[in-house]
Amino acid sequence: MLTETPAPVFPRRLPRLLLPALFGACVNLPAIAADMPADVDGQRIANADAEPGNWMSHGRDYGEQRYSPLNKITDDNVDDLGLAWSYKLDIDRGVEATPIVVDGVMYTTGPFSIVYALDARTGKEIWKYDPKSDRSRAGEACCDAINRGVAVWKGKVYVGVLDGRLEAIDAKTGERVWSVDTRYDKARSYSITGAPRVVNGKVVIGNGGAEFGVRGYVTAYDAETGEQAWRFFTVPGDPDKPAEGKGMEIAKKTWHGRAFVEQGGGGTAWDSFAYDPELNLLYIGVGNGSLWDPIWRSEGKGDNLFLSSIVAVNADTGEYVWHYQTTPGDAWDYTATQHMILADLEIEGKPRKVLMQAPKNGFFYVIDRATGELLSAENIVPINWAKGVDLKTGRPIVDDEAAAYWKGEKKAKLVQPGFWGAHDWHPMSYNPNTGLVYIPAHIMSAWYEHVPDAPARNKFKSMYQLGLKTGMMPEDPEGLAKYADTWSGKLIAWDPVKQEQAWEVPYVTIFNGGTLTTAGNLVFEGSADGRVIAYAADTGKKLWEQPAASGVMAAPITYSVDGEQYVTFMAGWGGAFSTFAGALSLRAGVQPYAQVLTYKIGGTAELQEPAPRPDAPQPPPLTADAATVEAGAKLYDGYCSQCHGIHAVSGGVLPDLRMLSPQTHEQFLGILHGARIPDGMPSFAEAFTMDQMKQIHQYLIKRAHDRLKNGPTDLPVLTQKTASN
């Protein structure tokens, strides 16, 4: 890691609105440092195009287009990009952050919400802030200890901490200014993995935790003091109590029974926001239900607002204005937390101010952002849960077979897309020159099966807590290989006016990186198999590629300092896919190695790479009978698989439990009793009996012997040479 700490210099800046007059149409402006670091306000963000060398908000501007007017790097010279600098992050786990760059300083995050301030020219560390997230609760957060970045405003940097805190940091010193606990109910497993936004002097943040049984909401805090300004609940609370505002008055009529009160209801807003300054509307992407199965959540009845919805609220007060629900009565984990983009499009010969989203359910939506009126919706990948969207009602035409797992025959059904959706959190981007949206898409399916007995709530993650069984991957190598063939990814260039695909690039697995597009006719994206790539924005032709030493999930950014344009990728494999779907994740042939990679024309820095994976130790002999191993397998897949991988095949982020050392085997029962709480491994003493712990141990010993027999992945490892593109 770079440790030199230069003293940053922040001379006074010229008024930003004078820049276009002084520099004309030039977009490759040098960074002009502010009166103080991170001296950003709403006017600067709203006028981001006037200073394209900065990246001042999560999506660059309030409309979240992730389009940069910078054009020094183009489709003609992008092949000359080389690594300018790299910075090694502290912890090798999932990296999903979008960096913020203001006046020559980069602010970004790594695992466990650690914040870094770096010189954007060189990558040298200015300061580092560790919020000391409560790692004993890491197992209660979905998914992995990731963080999607910070917000900046008037000399402060804001970060949401995994354990549920929102904190303000002095942008010059890296010292904490204030901290608030955002958790509405501290007895439940709330977390934060998303990036805050700052609107009208208020820091807006949502929470995660729907799979653990929480009630969703979004909160706005005063950016200067941390005092709560407003809170908007996304699902209703106790129906016997007064509703919290107009939104909850509407929502409570669409829920039935009282089970959701105990379960929390879900609807967490764990990622996406957008903002229209002219309308003063904040747009909230709302997540899935808790429990997943509508029978156990709401007696199998009702739309369950505002699950899987886009909700517009007044940015000053948090009052409800309108909503559009993408998946009424969500039964498949089809969140609408995915990236939203605001743009002005000509539709049927008329200019329209629109909001665009490609949520998990597979449709691409174009919505009037002033009224919530649905303008169009078409599927971006093959789906079988719905036959289309009725434009008169705005409702999907649900396929009876896909709903049959909880309706009618109640048998397991293979549904496409599965729970990671056609598009997950990975940001898409919109290029106004090509008129195309660039979407990191998934091709996947999953089994869904109703659980006949009402699930009981406990503090530990269990697939049965969702109210159903899902993600039932086969354990044998042949069956797993066939299953893997149904999971892939691709980069889609989508025309939102024509509602059709313009071009695509296939990938080897589903969790490839978010996208960036530029005025240089470029689209940048990282891949799961450890590459950073540039394509022509108009045709999809691959123009540039370099290795990244790890899988890349985060969306890149571009900025300029002193007339030099840079492109930054946050690299580091991890997150939901690599922890849960371990065998499929390992096909990408990468391992976690968290670092910031920044490129420029003519860069000559050397890429840092991780050490090779260690050889597997010899496991102890298996002493249990088949029934004991099977019992351990059920317990493992119900409680442990979310972090350590289905069938104990880790994607490399957390320890692969098939590779325990002889010493760890000896300590196994003590670890389950809490010996490694400081390392983020919770105690399961209240969840398992001693006999159940021994059953899990025997199952892991069996899987260790399977690994030696079948190989580390049970599948062919895909390398850059065998990758599709």
453 given a catalytic annotation: no
Position 709, amino acid: K
pLDDT at 584: 80
Other CB atoms within a 10 A radius of the CB of residue 183 amount to 18
| Domain 78-601 classification at class level | mainly beta
The predicted-structure confidence for 197-207, as pLDDT tens digits, reads as follows 999 999 999 99
pLDDT mean over 21-30: 37
Model confidence at 56: pLDDT above 60: yes
pLDDT of amino acid 708 = 85
Average confidence (pLDDT) over 337-352: 97
Integer Cα distance of 658 and 665 in angstroms = 10
**Per-chain mean pLDDT for the chain:** 90
- Location of structure tokens 């807006």: 204
- Backbone phi and psi for residue 548, each to the nearest 5 degrees, phi listed first: -120, 0
Residue range 477-486: mean pLDDT, rounded:
76
Answer for the pair 671, 684: CB distance below 8 angstroms, yes or no.
no
- Amino acid of residue 284: I
pLDDT of residue 588: 83
- What confidence score (pLDDT) does residue 638 get? 76
Sequence ranges of the chain with CATH classification 2.140.10.10: 78-601
pLDDT in tens, 631-677: 999 888 878 887 788 777 777 778 889 989 999 999 999 999 989 88
Cα gap 150→146, rounded to integer Å:
12
DSSP string of 186-216, one letter each residue? TTS--B--SPPEEETTEEEEE-B-GGG--B-
Domain with CATH 1.10.760.10 in the chain: 626-710
The answer to whether residues 506 and 529 touch, using CB atoms and an 8 Å cutoff, is: no
Query: Is the pLDDT reported for residue 721 higher than 60?
Result: no
Cα-based angle 320, 324, 326 (whole degrees, multiple of 5): 140
Torsion angles phi and psi, residue 663, rounded to 5: -65, -40
Marked catalytic residue, from 61, 75, 103, 333: 333
**Among the ranges given (262-266, 425-429, 478-482), the one the predictor scored with the smallest mean pLDDT:** 478-482
Phi, psi at residue 665, to the nearest 5°?
-60, -40
Q: Is 585 helix (H, G, I), strand (E, B) or coil?
A: helix
Q: What is the pLDDT of residues 99-146, one digit of tens each?
A: 999 999 999 999 999 999 999 999 999 999 999 998 766 667 777 889
The predicted structure's pLDDT at residue 509 = 87
pLDDT value at position 644? 85
Q: What's domain 626-710's architecture?
A: Orthogonal Bundle (1.10)
pLDDT value of position 299: 95
pLDDT at res. 29: 39
At 139 the pLDDT is: 64
Q: Which letter does DSSP use for residue 55 in this model?
A: B
Q: Which of 76-80, 319-323, 437-441, 709-713 has the lowest mean pLDDT?
A: 709-713
Distance CA 132, CA 572 (A): 21
* 45 membership: H or E segment, kind and range: helix 42-46
What is the 8-class DSSP label of residue 17?
G
pLDDT band at 508; cut points 50, 70, 90? confident
Give 707's pLDDT tier (boundaries 50, 70, 90): confident
Residue 558, CA distances (Å) to 126, 141, 158, 448, 522 in order: 20, 30, 21, 41, 11
pLDDT, mean of residues 580-593: 83
* pLDDT tens-digit series, residues 266-280: 999 999 999 999 999
